[in-house]
Amino acid sequence: MSAIVEHIRTELSRGELAAVAARVYAGQRLSREDGIRLFESQDLLGIGFLADLARQRACGDDVYFINNAHINHTNVCQNLCDLCAFGKQAGSPEAYTLTLSEIEAKARAAAAAGVTEIHIVGGLNPELPYEYYLDLIRTVRRVAPRACIQAFDAVEIDYIATQAGRPVADVLQELRQVGLDSLPGGGAEIFTPEVRRRLCARKIDGQRWLMVHETAHRLGIPTNATMLYGHLETAADRVDHLLALRELQDRTGGFLAFIPLAFHPANTAFSNLPGTTGVDDLKVLAISRLLLDNFRHIKAFWIMMGPKLAQVALHFGVNDLDGTVREERIFHDAGAATPQYQPAASFLRSIRAAGRIPVERDTLYREIRRYA
């Protein structure tokens, strides 16, 4: 044990996080009270040290990235949530809906670039018929047969099912039959009802979000999980959200990864809020690793936090930096100033500089290439 590590362990054993640290060392599950204590602590380096230990135990020194592309097929949305800068009213000069031909062109370009994942999310557009979604997946599957298709978050799946008058399970089955591989984790926001009512009153509630994911898991469709933080929520709200995900993961094992999403307030009804700080971003990632002991992968979404802070996050419990992305629109409409594309070479340099092993993966975390 290095002198620095020994010093940190000693300091932790004497400080406010001594009891939490003892449970982490012993490999014990943390409680709700432990989670709140961690969020209220100012000992960022101590929290990072514990998260890095948990990361090492869970997945070693491998750090994943993926060669992927995003398609946002429509920004027309009937919900127009206060937290969102992406959704537009039908008829707005900024509203758009991609035709199947336009989606085919984007998917074809992504396939030509060798992507292994096409990530598709959009607004709740009342003009789109049920067949549009099936044809969208069929089109992408036809022109990019080797790519995994991760499409439609739980809010979209619920909306598609409601519009079609079909059970969620039937919709998921039919989407899977035409090529869907996985669901993204968007729309979770924060599960606390009162906060959710103020942020996105017209969106499905947290229990409904969990039900859609549980249904997908029961059908053998893996999904991701998210939490939007840095707006109106308290430490207890964050912990309760994480524990709800942990409880579902205990029952189904269907979550692939957890991705904390930092709220970008620009161009939303909450533009008066300051946004998150780097300390908050690192703390949320680290505490997520510690509370979500049944999630193998904790992802730093570099498109929201920037590639340099995402690299630092590799020492705060993170083992995935997401992907090359290409043309992300949702967070950039809300003020994200990061690039919309990061080449694979940039991931290799960033991960190696952090002392870790870059591993290119597909959506299902199957290894494509290890850069030892």
Domains and CATH numbers, the chain: 1-56 (no CATH), 60-370 (3.20.20.70)
Phi, psi of 209 (to 5 degrees): -60, -45
Question: Binding site, residues?
Answer: 77, 81, 84, 189
Span 55-71, average pLDDT: 95
Question: Over 90: is that where the pLDDT of 51 sits?
Answer: yes
Inter-residue contact 224 to 185 (CB < 8 Å): yes
Span 188-201, average pLDDT: 96
Among 226, 233, 279, 227, CA closest to 46: 279
Question: Binding site for [4Fe-4S] cluster, residues?
Answer: 77, 81, 84
Span 183-199, average pLDDT: 97
Average model confidence (pLDDT) across the chain: 94
| Predicted pLDDT of residue 27 | 96
> Which residue carries 């998917």 as its tokens?
107
C-alpha 363/C-alpha 344 separation (Å) is: 16
| Predicted pLDDT of residue 333 | 63
Question: Over 60: is that where the pLDDT of 334 sits?
Answer: no
Inter-residue contact 161 to 168 (CB < 8 Å): yes
| Predicted pLDDT of residue 302 | 84
For residue range 78-124, list pLDDT tens digits in order. 999 999 989 999 999 999 999 999 999 999 999 999 999 999 999 99
C-alpha 293/C-alpha 195 separation (Å) is: 26
Give the pairing type, strands 320-323 and 62-66. parallel
Span 143-162, average pLDDT: 97
- How many percent of the chain have pLDDT more than 90? 85
| Predicted pLDDT of residue 101 | 97
